[in-house]
Amino acid sequence: MSYLSTGDYYTRVNGAVAAALGGHNSAPILLDSLNFADVHAFQKAGDWVGAGRLLADHARRLAAAGAQAVAICTNLMHKVAPAVEDAIDVPLLHIVDAVADDARARGLRSLGIMGARWTMTEDFYASRLSARGVEPVKAEPADVATTDRIVFDELTQGVIRDQSRAELLGVVERLVAAGADGVLLGCTELPLILTPDNCPHPIIDSTHAHVAAIARFVLS
């Protein structure tokens, strides 16, 4: 939920709708941009009840303002998706559903999960992938620590380093060796450093998959 990935979502959703409809069309978006420091404080404290309450309050504001669906523009905070869904009467466009649909469409039966520590180690993401027919492959603890450090110490602050890219590509190779058909970039900042051009294995960009699902909803 950093401003960097927020801007990426906004640009991509509008671009997808403009490309589909042409002319001066763009997406009707109500954007509630949170202070990421507040969100990250809940994460560091492990206060997921408080985090869920925060996101639920923002989701209610969007629904009250007329939103016909809500999207949480991040992977990790889908850990509190049930609290958000309970707070609103409109659909939540869930990122994991979009990722699983994208993987199956590309013939990928298993995905190595990369992202924040919680996304890589806990079941809120992996179990939903499994339920939608995609087998999750989890990284070893050292690779979890490496990925989490690069995400929060660098990428969410706009820092892109070649050395960090090399470390992340090592994580990718070990996930593939463990049985992954491809790799999920399960953090909305990871596509800033890993792309199909520099990664030798199939990548599912969670932002791309989620944006496509949001655009389909708008266009419907």
Query: Nearest to residue 194, comparing CAs of 153, 160, 158?
Result: 160
Q: How far apart are CA 51 and CA 184, in angstroms?
A: 24
Q: What backbone torsions phi and psi does residue 136 show, to the nearest 5 degrees?
A: -80, 145
Please identify which of the residues 6, 73, 74, 188 carries the catalytic annotation: 74
- For 186, half-sphere exposure in the C-beta direction (CA atoms, 13 angstrom radius) is 37
Task: Specify whether 187 is catalytic.
Answer: yes
Please identify which of the residues 6, 119, 156, 187 carries the catalytic annotation: 187
> What is the distance of C-alpha 65 from the center of its chain?
24
> What are 143's two structure tokens?
């690779």
Sequence-separated contacts (24+) of 152-160 with Cβ below 8 Å: 152/40, 152/116, 155/4, 155/187, 155/189, 155/190, 155/192, 155/193, 156/2, 156/4, 156/36, 156/40, 156/189, 158/4, 160/192, 160/193
Enumerate the active-site residues: 74, 187
